[in-house]
Structure 1
Amino acid sequence: MRLLLVEDDPELGRRLSDRLRGTDFAVELATSRSEAEDWPDVEKMAAIILDLGLPDGDGLDLLRHWRNARVDTPILILTARGSWQDKVEGLNAGADDFVVKPVRFEELQARLNALFRRQQGSRSTLLEAGDLALDPLARTVAHDGVPLSVSKQEFRLLHLFMRRAGQVMSQGDILDDLYELDAERERNTVEVLVGRLRRKIGRERIVTLRGMGYRFEK
């Protein structure tokens, strides 16, 4: 899943991006309000982590801009502002959560997972499709009740397929979910990952639609 991190502190942005990537997120980093406001596909992000103290404007104004533009991506404010008035203002402006710096990474990760659970409308994060079960928090996959060994990229791809079961996804759509925008991409990467998954979960689960992409069958 892709996250947009809006943070003007270069060292904090680098460290936080590295930690998030270590938990299998693809992270985009914007260092100013204008850069974040002009981000090309912000509505496709799984979540946005937003600092309020930006060099060219207030993060709250950016938050209001997104909500007025009907961007419904979950937004978590991560800021040094810690008064109750700041929290109330941020939540009223449309934030889904408000976290005060400094914060342990484990808490930030737990709050992101809670956002995803609420977005799915359920306290359970388990995804099921026939005899397949995937737990995005525990990072586990089971096939007919038997634990399945998958690589990080195979897990990301299967997670994407199961979230969007029945939908046709092009190779470009899949690459956008798996990698940052500026990362090196090779289209045969998708073909290789799909081939590996088919050998583990069954060829019939992933249908190739020539000229269009792939569709995951429940």
Structure 2
Amino acid sequence: MRFLLVEDHEDLGRSVQERLRLEGHAVDLAPTLAEAQEFQAAASYDLILLDIMLPDGDGRQFLASQRSAGNQTPVIVMTARAAVSDRVGTLDMGADDYITKPFDYAELEARCRAILRRRGGVADSRHRHADIVFDPLGGTIDVNGEVRELRSRELRLLEVFLGAPGRILSKEHLCDRLFSFSEPVTDNAIEVYVGRLRKKLTGSRLRIDTMRGLGYRLTET
């Protein structure tokens, strides 16, 4: 998944970014609303983590503008304001969740997972695709009764393919879903992760075809 983190406190922003990257997410960090808008113009996001008090404005105005423009990307507001009226007002403006600073990183990660599950309308995290059972929260796939663990980016890559079965996905698109703008990406990075994922899918009916000059496609045999 790709997240947009809007936070002006450098240490907190970097810490949250690194924690979420360890979960396999691509995270772009914007310390101002202006930079957040620039990121949004260049990429699409699965979740926005939004501070309220920012150097160039109020995050709630950013949230309101998102909703008025019809952007329904889930938003978790992060703020030091703990008053009930602040929480209620922010949720009424269209936030999907609210977490008060200081917070535990594990709680933030759990809230992110819950929001993404609700967005997909899924109560049980496990999904069946062809002859595999994919558990994104557990980080595993079950292939004919054999449970195989997925590394973080293998897991995110499989999510991208399962979200677009049969479609040709370019290397550029896959890079956009797996890496943030600040992460260095080598030319063969996607080839490496596709190769690893293919090995994890060995023995199943799912395969990843290379479409020369175009990208990759998930198919079922």
* Secondary structure at 1:61 match in 2: helix
Cα distance in 2, alignment partners of residues 18 and 197 from structure 1: 23
Match of 1:45 in 2: 45
Deviations 1:20-64 (A, max 9, x none): 112222211000111112224576212010000111100000001
TM-score of the aligned structures, taking structure 1 as reference length: 0.92
Residue 193 of structure 2 aligns with an amino acid whose one-letter code is L
Tell me the residue number matched to 1:214: 216
Instruction: Give CA-to-partner distance per residue, 1:164-209, whole Å, 9 cap, x none.
Output: 3233211101001111113222232212322332233149621223
The residue type equivalent to 1:84 in the other structure is: V
Counterpart check, 1:192 vs 2:192: yes
One-letter amino acid of the counterpart of residue 145, structure 1: G
* Aligned residues with identical type, % of pairs: 39
Q: Which one is further off, 145-154 or 176-185?
A: 145-154
Unaligned runs of 5+ in 2: none
Q: Hey, what does 1:21 align to over in structure 2?
A: 21
Q: Is the 8 A contact 1:171 1:187 kept in 2?
A: no
Corresponding position of 2:104: 104
Contact kept in structure 2, 1:30 and 1:36, CA below 8 Å:
yes
* CA distance in structure 1 between the partners assigned to 2:135 and 2:63 by the alignment: 31
Mapping 1:145-184, distance limit 5 Å: 145-184=145-184
Q: Distance in 1 between matches of 2:149 and 2:104?
A: 30
**1:12 partnered with 2:12:** yes
Q: Secondary structure at the match of 1:39?
A: helix
The 2-side partners of 1:196 and 1:23 are apart by 17
Comparing 158-167 and 5-14, the one that deviates more? 158-167
| Helix, strand or coil at the partner of 1:176 | helix
Q: Following superposition of structure 1 onto structure 2, how do residues 112-151 of structure 1 map, counting pairs within 5 Å? A: 112-151=112-151
1: CA distance, partners of 2:128 / 2:45: 23
For residues 149 and 114 of structure 2, what CA distance do their matches in structure 1 show?
Answer: 26
Question: Residue 185 of structure 1: SS of its match in structure 2?
Answer: coil
Task: Note if contact 1:143-1:201 (Cα within 8 Å) is conserved in structure 2.
Answer: yes
The alpha-carbon distance between structure 1 residues 74 and 151, as it changes in their structure 2 partners (threshold 3 A), is same
How far, CA to CA, are the matches of 1:189 and 1:196 in structure 2?
Answer: 11
Select between 103-112 and 191-200 the one with higher mean Cα deviation.
Answer: 191-200
Asked if residue 84 in structure 1 is aligned to residue 89 in structure 2, the reply is: no
Q: Which has the higher contact order (CA 8 A, sep 6+)?
A: 2
Q: Pairwise CA RMSD of aligned residues?
A: 1.9
Q: What is the CA distance between 1:156 and its match in structure 2?
A: 2.3
Single out whichever of 74-83 and 188-197 deviates more from structure 2: 188-197
Give the unaligned 5+ runs of structure 1. none
Code of the residue aligned with 1:183 in structure 2: it is: E
Contact 1:27 1:180 in 2 (8 A): yes
Given that 2:139 and 2:151 are in contact with CA atoms closer than 8 Å, whether structure 1 keeps it comes out as no
Select which of 204, 207, 210 maps to 1:205.
207
Supply the distance in 2 between the matched residues of 1:77 and 1:176 (Cα, whole angstroms).
24
Q: Distance in 2 between matches of 1:92 and 1:43?
A: 26
Instruction: Give structure 1 regions of 4+ aligned residues with deviation exceeding 4 angstroms.
Output: none
